[in-house]
Structure 1
Amino acid sequence: MSEAAARSRTVQLLEFELGTETYCVDIAHVAEIVDVNDLTVIPNSARHVEGVMDLRGKTTTIVDPKVVFGIAGDGNRKRIIVFDQERTTDGKSIGWIVDEVDQVVEVDEDDVESSPVDEDEAVRGVIKRDGDFVIWVRPTVVDA
């Protein structure tokens, strides 16, 4: 197999923590990672919307994926993953508030098992590593 063919079968994923579990998203969806700053709460917003913050002049909606995915626990909520506006619904500036960002890993697509939940648009797949599982989620299913 050529080097180019081998490269085309891998994907880079950003791993992050929500509660006690590790999740990941395709790094191609990520614009930047920032520390949590002051959020402005928006009255009567959806339960999963934490608020908004100003990121370099852009109003960015901050979403709590724990609420969307039904994950228990408050956690540290130390980092915000900001998604590329070109890859979000309606080109909105959206970020997820997460407990911690761990690392970027390169994964062979053959090592990704399909979602164990039929018709689950949120879960792209499951990666087994070191006796644990990393859940690969699609950021496009969480909207503000």
Structure 2
Amino acid sequence: MANDTVTKTDIKVIVFQLKDEEYALEVDYIQSIERMQPVTRIPSTSPFVTGVMNLRGVITPIINLRKRFGIEEKEYDEATRILVISKDHLELGFIVDGANDVIDIPIEKIEPSPEVIGGVETDYIRGVIKLEKRLFTLLNLDKIVQ
């Protein structure tokens, strides 16, 4: 019974970097975190779809979150990661600048997103988390993958 209480009051998130900002996604959706790998381009896809890659035998679409959010692109480097996400039987990868932490967030720390967020459409945002001196944007996975 005590376990049920924990899951209702805390969510576990992975914190990752895009440009100078920290974002969070619920860890339940994260299958793995991979180093940047070759991606095969697919013609006639949305500009933010980088292509596909073969990940342990599964062909996985790869989305560049910088492009998806309208943030200027940068060269991939040693810190660049692919967050492999699984949601509703769909597996895809998000290219991010770096994956930082896995942390527990008390649900009461999630605040509604402000009306104006620089660079990221508010549709993509589930809320903002203030934790000590850090500020994270909690993303709405459903809207990102639409």
TM-score range with shorter-chain normalisation? 0.7 to 0.9
In the superposition, the TM-score normalised over structure 2's length comes to 0.84
Counterparts in 2 of 1:52-63, with a 5 A limit?
A: 52-63=52-63
User: 1:61-87: CA deviations, max 9, x gaps?
Assistant: 000111222223426461000012xx2
The answer for the alignment partner of 1:109 in structure 2 is: 107
Which portions of structure 1, spanning 4 or more consecutive aligned residues, are displaced by more than 6 angstroms? none
Identity of aligned residues (%): 27
Alpha-carbon offset, residue 136 of structure 1: 0.3
**Aligned AA (2:31):** A
Alpha-carbon offset, residue 51 of structure 1: 0.9
The answer for the alignment partner of 2:70 in structure 1 is: 70
Q: Distance in 2 between matches of 1:130 and 1:54?
A: 39
Q: Distance in 2 between matches of 1:41 and 1:3?
A: 44
Is 1:99 the counterpart of 2:97? The answer is yes
Gaps of at least 5 residues in structure 1 are none
Aligned-residue RMSD, C-alpha: 2.2
Alpha-carbon offset, residue 55 of structure 1: 0.4
The answer for the alignment partner of 2:136 in structure 1 is: 134
In the superposition, the TM-score normalised over structure 1's length comes to 0.85
Q: Distance in 1 between matches of 2:66 and 2:15?
A: 15
Gaps of at least 5 residues in structure 2 are none
Compared CA separation, residues 40 and 140, structure 1 to 2 (3 A): same
